[in-house]
Amino acid sequence: MHKNDNPEKLNANPINQWAEDDRPREKLLLKGKSSLSDAELIAILISSGSREESAVDLSKRILKNTSDNLIELSKLSIAELMKFKGIGEAKAISIIAALELGKRRRESEAMAKNKITSSRDAYEILQSDLTDLPHEEFWIMLLSNANKLIRKICISEGGYTGTVADPKKIFKLALEQNACSVVLAHNHPSDNLKPSEQDIKLTKKLVESGKFLDLKVIDHLIVGDTSYFSFADNGLI
């Protein structure tokens, strides 16, 4: 055995004596990924800090600026991340790419189920599309007779306070895809999940219109950053 492969030799140098920038990588190797804090994981992404602070300290500063909330961090643009001293374009892109992969992983896990049996199932599939947006978007999920997802489609994009959902466009797409039912969804960038009067009126209009076409609107979700409101769960459909 090579002398550097001796576990006792490795452990003789405790973590608190490692160079600051080496700690997250070594900690991951010795203790596993779940042992790392958010700041340590980000430090691995950016690799180095600046002359004044280590990668870990820089990561802590960035997280503190976003209230230690990864959702808030994911809303920052490349330009906003680059305002932190020590973060250049390449590092900013690495952070954004990693957070986007996390979102897509959640969506992939939800899509693997393929069948919508609850509002939670629908929310998990749409969450990555409708969170972290500075504006409203209106989406639909088209389902088969067995409630399996056929397709999800963005119908429209709007401003901070609203977007337009054209019933003709919605039902045209549903008929073209041979859908048997539809789930409606839009986000509230303000994170206020309470439906507006306009939301309620639009939902009633789409539910009634769907009946004439034998296309059931089974739910309407209002999506926030970490939660959602379901019209069906709250007896509004």
Each domain of the chain, given as residue ranges in start order, spans 3-104, 116-230
CA 65 to chain centre: 19
What pTM value is reported for the model? 0.60
Record the tokens describing residue 230, joined without a space.
């379901």
User: Roughly what angle, to the nearest 10 degrees, separates helices 38-46 and 55-65?
Assistant: 120
Give the pairing type, strands 228-230 and 216-223: antiparallel
Q: Give yes or no for a contact between 125 and 111, defined as CB atoms under 8 angstroms apart.
A: yes
SS3 percent helix, strand, coil of the chain, rounded to 5, is 50, 15, 35
DSSP secondary structure code for residue 199 in this structure: H
Q: What is the pLDDT of residues 153-197, one digit of tens each?
A: 999 987 665 677 889 999 999 999 999 999 999 999 888 899 999
Q: Which CATH superfamily is domain 116-230 in?
A: Cytidine Deaminase, domain 2 (3.40.140.10)
- Tell me the chain's radius of gyration from C-alpha atoms: 23
Q: Give yes or no for a contact between 21 and 56, defined as CB atoms under 8 angstroms apart.
A: yes
Please state, in angstroms and rounded to a whole number, the distance separating the CA atoms of residues 73 and 54.
19
Please state, in angstroms and rounded to a whole number, the distance separating the CA atoms of residues 180 and 54.
56
Q: What is the pLDDT of residues 53-103, one digit of tens each?
A: 899 999 999 999 999 988 889 889 999 999 999 999 999 999 999 998 887
